[in-house]
């Protein structure tokens, strides 16, 4: 602002105070840009951390199934707390439905492992992992049959009878589990209702992440994998007690149909043999057992939208014949993962 000094006869410039409108607008604009960048970065960091938590939680759920099988005194409960042995908790209501009499000081059933069903709906970006107990007749109870029934296993007519299957050293684990009536469902002897054998636990993958298969195709022609729907049979060998893992490339469905079994809502009139895992222990017409197989499982955990991970799905790998938690691996994003069944091709979750 200019002022005229009469005594001096000169024009003086008065010192300016405050900011001009242009300076204020520039300040506000720069502040807005900085704030937007900070918020965007914070949002991306939160999304990425949620995705990492989802991957770790999913791996931990699978590891817990191995812990349960390794220590059958630990039961499965929906609240995640340790429970009692499934046979101990169900002996009054279920043990009698598993045919046979218990030896002195024993129940007539045994815990043989866990059935893990992984079910994914890709459209809704939802994966559920459901773990149920694999319960069956006690092996010692079966061996008593020879004395009570006088079975002659050299007679071909008796080869499929329980004692003969158990006593035959060449019987496979699947044959043994079938002979022991191992199943994740049982028929309640008192109410005549089908129910889960032991307890069950269901967990959803968090923060919108979901499971899918690795990329399909070769080289640059690979396409995103389908939603992952598989069943893991993690069991103790009735023969030697070692823990093993078998895989079925589908979820358990009602026998003869396409409906997936929801163990949280089983019809009371359901036949345990038609709804449970035992239906897949039966032989094919040619005598083979191809429902379950031993192989590596590659699980791509889709981010479901986390920015930095949108094109970089982490991989959870379940090693072939995994026998403990160490068989569950979280692969690095840049890891050179190969399937032993096809070592010439990398197993990838994304194209980058």
How does residue 101 score in pLDDT terms, banded at 50, 70 and 90? very low
- pLDDT of amino acid 213: 93
How does residue 99 score in pLDDT terms, banded at 50, 70 and 90? very low
pLDDT by residue (tens digit) across 129-186? 999 989 888 877 766 666 666 788 888 888 778 888 888 888 888 888 988 889 998 8
- pLDDT of amino acid 243: 93
- pLDDT of amino acid 320: 92
Cα 117 from Cα 222, distance rounded (Å): 27
Find out whether 158 and 149 touch, Cβ atoms under 8 Å: no
How does residue 91 score in pLDDT terms, banded at 50, 70 and 90? very low
- pLDDT of amino acid 127: 94
How does residue 14 score in pLDDT terms, banded at 50, 70 and 90? low
Please state, rounded to an integer, the average pLDDT across all residues of the chain: 78
- pLDDT of amino acid 351: 64
- pLDDT of amino acid 105: 41
H/E element holding 196?
Answer: strand 194-196
Whether this prediction's pTM lies above 0.85 is answered by: no
Terminal Cα-to-Cα distance of the chain (whole angstroms): 63
Please give the residue that has the higher pLDDT: either 40 or 152: 152
Supply φ then ψ for residue 41, to 5 degrees: -65, -40
Please give the residue that has the higher pLDDT: either 254 or 100: 254
Find out whether 136 and 174 touch, Cβ atoms under 8 Å: no
Q: Which three-class secondary structure state does DSSP give residue 25?
A: helix
Find out whether 315 and 336 touch, Cβ atoms under 8 Å: no
- pLDDT of amino acid 125: 84
Q: Which two tokens stand for residue 228?
A: 């992952």
Q: Can you tell me the mean pLDDT for 65-81?
A: 61
Q: Which two tokens stand for residue 170?
A: 């060449």
Find out whether 261 and 250 touch, Cβ atoms under 8 Å: no
Q: Is the pLDDT of residue 59 over 90?
A: yes
Cα 215 from Cα 336, distance rounded (Å): 14
Cα 315 from Cα 331, distance rounded (Å): 5
Find out whether 281 and 235 touch, Cβ atoms under 8 Å: no
Q: Would you kindly state where each structural domain of the chain is located, as residue ranges?
A: 18-346
Q: Is the pLDDT of residue 310 over 80?
A: no
- pLDDT of amino acid 92: 39
Q: Is the pLDDT of residue 259 over 50?
A: yes
Q: Which two tokens stand for residue 44?
A: 């991306």
Q: Which two tokens stand for residue 108?
A: 């007539």
Cα 86 from Cα 72, distance rounded (Å): 8
3-state secondary structure 89-115: HHCCCCHHHCCCCCCCCCCCEEEEEEE
């Amino acid at each position: 602002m200019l002022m005229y000094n009469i005594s001096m006869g000169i024009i003086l410039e008065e010192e300016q105070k405050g900011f001009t409108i242009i300076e204020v607008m520039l300040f506000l604009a720069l502040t807005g840009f900085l704030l937007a960048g900070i918020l965007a970065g914070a949002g991306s960091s939160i999304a990425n951390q949620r995705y990492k938590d989802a991957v770790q939680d999913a791996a931990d759920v699978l590891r817990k199934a191995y812990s349960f099988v390794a220590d059958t005194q630990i039961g499965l409960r929906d609240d995640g707390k340790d429970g009692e042995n499934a046979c101990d908790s169900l002996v009054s209501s279920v043990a009698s439905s598993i045919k046979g009499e218990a030896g002195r000081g024993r129940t007539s059933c045994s815990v043989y492992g866990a059935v893990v069903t992984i079910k994914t709906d890709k459209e809704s970006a939802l994966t559920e992992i459901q773990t149920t107990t694999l319960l069956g007749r006690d092996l010692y109870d079966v061996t008593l049959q020879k004395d009570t029934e006088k079975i002659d296993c050299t007679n071909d007519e008796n080869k499929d009878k329980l004692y003969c299957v158990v006593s035959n050293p060449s019987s496979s684990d699947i044959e043994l589990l079938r002979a022991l009536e191992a199943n994740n469902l049982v028929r309640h002897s008192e109410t005549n209702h089908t129910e889960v054998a032991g307890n069950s636990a269901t967990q959803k993958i968090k923060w919108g992440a979901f499971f899918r298969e690795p990329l399909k195709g070769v080289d640059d022609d690979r396409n995103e994998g389908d939603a992952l729907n598989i069943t893991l049979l993690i069991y103790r060998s009735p023969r030697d007690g070692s823990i093993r893992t078998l895989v079925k490339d589908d979820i358990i469905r009602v026998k003869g149909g396409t409906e997936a079994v929801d163990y949280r809502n089983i019809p009371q009139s359901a036949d345990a043999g038609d709804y449970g895992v035992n239906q897949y222990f039966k032989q094919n017409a040619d005598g083979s057992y191809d429902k379950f197989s031993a192989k590596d499982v590659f699980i791509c955990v889709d981010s479901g939208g986390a920015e930095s991970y949108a094109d970089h799905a982490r991989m959870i790998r379940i090693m072939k014949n995994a026998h403990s938690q160490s068989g569950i691996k979280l692969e690095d994003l840049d890891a050179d993962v190969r399937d032993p069944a096809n070592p010439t091709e990398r197993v990838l979750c994304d194209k980058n």
